[in-house]
């Protein structure tokens, strides 16, 4: 099981600020996913990155996959209260019966106040 370390663990900012959260491992990933989980809901997939150095944009969110495919970052520009939630990174790992399981990091809990 690959250990995913996310930082920071908690982040509280005001509306309009920029922020970056990180997902790191000592292992190389074939791909990595970012999810957002709002309070009282299940995680929702934001993006999948597969190529080292890849950058993907989703409105005000920018996702980057490290060149060595060991780390990833999520940058939010001009944060809004609707961005509040738990941001999780996850990697797929083969399991015992030709399937795949998602291995999640502990997440970064983001609070954006008006």
Partner 1 sequence: EAGVAQSPRYKIIEKRQSVAFWCNPISGHATLYWYQQILGQGPKLLIQFQNNGVVDDSQLPKDRFSAERLKGVDSTLKIQPAKLEDSAVYLCASSLGRITYEQYFGPGTRLTVT
Q: Contact between 45 and partner 1 (CB under 8 A)?
A: yes
For residue 99, give the DSSP letter: -
Q: Contact between 31 and partner 1 (CB under 8 A)?
A: yes
86: left (phi over 0), alpha (psi -120 to 50) or beta: beta
Q: What is the sign, positive or negative, of the torsion defined by CA atoms of 23, 36, 34, 13?
A: negative
Q: Contact between 33 and partner 1 (CB under 8 A)?
A: yes
Q: Which of 28, 44, 58, 68 binds partner 1 (CB under 8 A)?
A: 44
Rounded to the nearest 5 percent, the helix, strand and coil shares of the chain are: 5, 55, 45
Q: Which of 28, 58, 68, 102 binds partner 1 (CB under 8 A)?
A: 102
Binders of partner 1 in range 51-80 (CB under 8 A): none
Asked whether the beta carbons of 89 and 23 are under 8 A apart, the reply is yes
- Residue among 26 and 95 whose Cβ is closer to partner 1: 95
Q: Contact between 30 and partner 1 (CB under 8 A)?
A: no
Which residues would be at the binding site for partner 1 (CB under 8 A)?
A: 4, 31, 33, 40-45, 48, 88, 90, 92, 95-107
């Amino acid at each position: 099981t690959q250990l995913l370390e996310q930082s920071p663990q908690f982040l509280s900012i005001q509306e309009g600020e920029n922020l970056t959260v990180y997902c790191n491992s000592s292992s190389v990933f074939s791909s990595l996913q970012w999810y957002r989980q709002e309070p009282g809901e299940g995680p929702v997939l934001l993006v999948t990155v597969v190529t080292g150095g890849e950058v993907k944009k989703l409105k005000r969110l920018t996702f980057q996959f490290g060149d060595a495919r060991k780390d990833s970052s999520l940058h939010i520009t001009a944060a809004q209260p609707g961005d509040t939630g738990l941001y999780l990174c996850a990697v797929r790992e083969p399991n015992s019966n030709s399937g795949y399981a998602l291995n999640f990091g502990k997440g970064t809990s983001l609070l954006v106040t008006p």
